[in-house]
Amino acid sequence: MSLTTGRSARAWGGGAAHRLYSVVVFVLLASLDNVAIGLVPPLYGAIAESFAVPQRLLGLVTAVSFLVSAVAAVGWAYFGDRTNRKPLLMIGTLLWAAGTGGSGLAGNYPTFLAAQLLAAIGLGAVGSVGFSVVTDLISPRRRGLVMSFWGLSQGAGTLAGTLVGGLLGAVDWRRPFLLLTVVGLAATAAYLFTYDIRRGQSEPQLAGALASGAEYDYRINRGDLPVILRRRTNRWLILQGLTAQAAFGSLVWLPVLFAERARDQGYSSATAIVVGSVFATLFQLGGVLSIVGGLIGDALQRRTPSGRALVAAVGVLAALPFYLVLFFVPIRIDVPDGAGGGAVIRAVLGSVVTEPTVGLSLLTALVALALTSANSPNWFALIADANPPEHRGTVYSLGNLVNGVGRAAGNGLVGVAFHALRVAFPPPLNYAVGLAAFQLFFIPTGIMYWLAARTSPKDITDVQHLLASRAHRVQGRAPY
């Protein structure tokens, strides 16, 4: 395939309002997909009790769902890099909405597992294909900043899922699943009014050719996979997800840690679930500071092509001691047992000021999450910087596949670790020790980002030269 003459840029979409609407839809849908991911962990206990199965089997559902979603994303991404991406996103959204609805209606554990796996297949489309679309909207100078919003929307979705699951599901765990199903169907309708974003339209090297009427219609083929893997930066960006996500995957148990602390202090199960969800949501607000990580990555990248990778390396390594402190600082929980969700939220927020240990835990969590959140926007931006447009969705999906394996391992194995640690450490201490051990996986993650900092300058330069040569070949033939 090649850059060919074709429709003018005007024919690809509407004006500024249409473009803004399209961006908002993509970002919100990335958030909603992660709401679906975040619903289950706060409700492990309630769902396990409803189905009369051990709680660790619910952790297995989440772990397998991460893996299935990651495997499905590779197929979605490959077809997205070859065809029209909009229909794929709509189909994926319908699938996860159907799976989420089926989860809420499930009458037993096997049915719940099957519904969650259906939702996971749909989730694979939105992450990988959506990433490819969004990178075509962002210039290299601002990729870190804008991708921080993309990553932040996903993190915010997970937090919203945690909070919605805990609050709406404290009495009836099925309600949040059914509500999200309705929202997912509405989101599918919103796709109908977005426009198809041109592949490669954000690349400076292609700007002249595209402005003159050329169309970038290079598409991935099977022979490109060795080319993708020969880029050493891609190898480090893909492999780091195995260890990074082992650590991040374990953190979905954070609501359970705080719920167990509440139970240990004598609170009822329903109140403990709400407490765990609110504390976990509050403590993960540091992820908002990923915007700072994206800005720093953009600024340093303009000074050196190693900048983004260096920011990510420093962030994940510096966060480790803060996580260790977070898990072991004792927290005195003082909320009205049996009260509604609003009263518990007000009590938890008040304890940030009145209880020094809660305030210290919040500060520690904010710093830890702020540092590790530098990983996300710079990872997204590096994939875009080091690959031509027709490869980005596939590279993202390969990284996401490894992420899924790491996340599934972290989520599943930490549950086994909690169970084994009960022999030496009674709850909730077994949860604190298990979570602390899994954060050590951030050490090899930081090392791999440092290695990416050494390889990225050449790979980025090679891609820039490739795009410039493609644009030059058709510049003289494009209609003016």
Per cent of the chain over pLDDT 70 is: 94
Residues 373-426 pLDDT 10s: 889 899 999 999 999 988 998 998 899 889 878 887 887 788 889 989 999 999
Residues 279-299 pLDDT 10s: 777 777 777 778 889 999 999
Contact 287, 152 (CB under 8 A): yes
- pLDDT tier for residue 29 given thresholds of 50, 70 and 90: confident
Residues 301-327 pLDDT 10s: 999 999 999 999 999 999 999 988 888
Per cent of the chain over pLDDT 90 is: 28
pLDDT on residue 296: 93
Classify residue 375 as left (phi > 0), alpha (psi -120 to 50) or beta: alpha
Map the chain to HEC letters. Answer: CCEEECCCHHHHCCCHHHHHHHHHHHHHHHHHHHHHHHHCHHHHHHHHHHHCCCHHHHHHHHHHHHHHHHHHHHHHHHHHCCCCHHHHHHHHHHHHHHHHHHHHHCCCHHHHHHHHHHHHHHHHHHHHHHHHHHHCCCCHHHHHHHHHHHHHHHHHHHHHHHHHHHHHCCCCCCHHHHHHHHHHHHHHHHHCCCCCCCCCCCCHHHHHHHHCCEEECCCCCCCHHHHHHHCHHHHHHHHHHHHHHHHHHHHHHHHHHHHHHHHHCCCCHHHHHHHHHHHHHHHHHHHHHHHHHHHHHHHHHHHCCCHHHHHHHHHHHHHHHHHHHHHHCCCCCCCCCCCCHHHHHHHHHHHHHHCHHHHHHHHHHHHHHHHHCCHHHHHHHHHHHCCCHHHHHHHHHHHHHHHHHHHHHHHHHHHHHHHHHCCCCCCCHHHHHHHHHHHHHHHHHHHHHHHHHHHHHHHHHHHHHHHHHHHHHHHCCCCC
Residue 357 exposure: Cα atoms within 13 Å on the Cβ side: 9
Does residue 305 have a cis peptide bond before it, meaning omega lies within 30 degrees of 0? no
Which of 377, 457, 461, 9 shows the shortest CA–CA distance to 199?
Answer: 9
Q: Do the domains at 16-202 and 226-475 have one common CATH topology?
A: yes
- pLDDT tier for residue 42 given thresholds of 50, 70 and 90: confident
Contact 287, 366 (CB under 8 A): no
Contact 343, 335 (CB under 8 A): yes
pLDDT on residue 310: 96
Q: Which of the residue ranges 16-30, 106-120, 170-184, 293-307 would you say has the lowest mean pLDDT?
A: 16-30
Topology at the third CATH level for domain 16-202: Growth Hormone; Chain: A; (1.20.1250)
Contact 247, 442 (CB under 8 A): yes
Which CATH number does the domain 226-475 belong to among 1.20.1250.20, 3.40.50.2000, 3.40.50.300, 3.40.50.10140?
A: 1.20.1250.20
Can you read off the two tokens belonging to residue 297?
């990555």
Residue 14 has pLDDT above 70, yes or no: no
Domain parsing of the chain, residue ranges: 16-202, 226-475
Residues 95-122 pLDDT 10s: 989 999 999 999 999 999 999 999 999 9
Mean pLDDT of the chain: 84
Amino acid identity for residue 34 in this structure: N
pLDDT on residue 160: 79
In our burial notation (b when 16+ CB lie closer than 10 A, e otherwise), range 42-64 reads bbbbbbbebbebebebbbbbbbb
pTM value is 0.78
Residue 199 has pLDDT above 70, yes or no: yes
Q: What span, in angstroms and rounded, lies between the C-alpha atoms of 62 and 56?
A: 10
